[in-house]
Amino acid sequence: MFSSVQPDERILVTGGLTGIGAGIVDAFPGRCVVWSRRNGVDLTDEESVATAARGLLAAGSPPFAVVHCVGDFDEVPLLDADLPHYRHMLDSNLTSAFLVVRHVVPALVAAGRGRVILFSAAGASVADAKPRAPLYFAAKAGLSVLARTLALEVAASGVTVNVVAPGIIRHPHSHRVSQDRMAPRVPMGRAGEVRDLLGAIRLLLSEEGAYITGAELVVDGGIGLR
């Protein structure tokens, strides 16, 4: 068992009321601060994020970790997508991460410690065509570049930055039509569940994970091997 973040240290989980984020909150009971549109924080709006960050940081020392889980998925061919869909995919998956990084991570750097975990998608950083969901994967590829760059910028401060890239993960808000179509391709023979991601999260938040930064941990049951 990996030693984990200490019980008195807070974890900021964005998108923590549904899906993967909710599973992470359940795994660390009593430790998580949750930002979600459902509790008044619009992660795609800078003023909303800035206001939430001011409140968070005024309440005490900065959180030990930021786990950013926000990111909508949809399957729309590139030439069928319109500008509002394009903006929604980028805002939900990439702009939201940038705003959280911009308004919270400087406090971790000033404290000289902390962990940042961003969620991408299995295969997003592979340079091939993504006809199934091109705008979603384009945004997630951008997020991977953002994460690696941030990891380099803050490494000397003691803050680590890593990406978890899930494959097919079932939860009440997942895209079931896409998942049902793709699940038979998983070499391990099943779709993943949120609990399958928790080992990676615990590692990255643990003392044993303190020397891991700029990494992408793919949790996909082997579908990326196809």
Q: Supply the residues annotated as catalytic.
A: 136
In whole angstroms, how far apart are CA 6 and each of 13, 29, 109, 124, 206?
A: 16, 12, 19, 32, 9
Nearest Cα to 175, choosing from 60, 76, 72? 72
User: What is the C-alpha separation between 50 and 156, in angstroms, rounded?
Assistant: 25
User: What is the C-alpha separation between 95 and 163, in angstroms, rounded?
Assistant: 16
For the chain, how many residues are written?
Answer: 226
- Packing angle, helices 83-90 and 134-154, rounded to 10: 30
